[in-house]
């Protein structure tokens, strides 16, 4: 597995917080409930051990705001 990156589409995201639950090691919620990765913007590198959780987040995001590439 190569290094993957989680892309957050800010127009689609509604800050529902599913991804921040599944990827709590990676993402935190800002004061409006939107995901935030310290030091990164809309493309967040996903470490190997979190790739399954990232895939779940992509599948479950109610707004289809996440892509993993």
Partner 1 sequence: MSEALWALGRGTGVISLILITVSVVLGILTRSGRPAFGMPRFAVTLVHRNASLLGSVFVLVHVVSLFFDPYAELRLVDFFVPFLGTAKPIWLGLGTVSLDLLVALIVTALLRRFIGHRVFRAVHWFSYAMWPIALAHSLGDGTDAGTVWFLTLAGLCTAAVLGSVGWRASRVFVEFRGTRGAEEPA
Site for partner 1 contains 39 (CB under 8 A): no
Give the nearest distance from C-beta 42 to ligand SF4 in angstroms: 10
Site for partner 1 contains 56 (CB under 8 A): yes
Binding string, 29-58, against ligand SF4, x = CB under 6 A? ------x-----------------------
> Coil, helix or strand for 62?
coil
Interacting residues of 46 by C-beta distance below 8 A, sequence separation 6+: 3, 4, 5, 6, 23, 26, 54, 68
Dist CA 56 CA 3 (whole Å): 17
Residue numbers at the binding site for partner 1 (CB under 8 A): 12, 14-18, 21-22, 31-33, 56-57, 60, 62-64
């Amino acid at each position: 597995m190569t290094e993957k990156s989680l892309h957050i589409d800010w127009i689609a995201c509604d800050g529902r917080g599913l991804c921040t639950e599944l990827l709590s090691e990676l993402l935190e919620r800002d004061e409006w409930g939107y995901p935030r990765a310290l030091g990164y913007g809309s493309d967040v590198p996903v470490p190997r051990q979190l790739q399954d959780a990232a895939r779940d987040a992509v599948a479950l995001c109610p707004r289809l705001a996440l892509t993993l590439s």
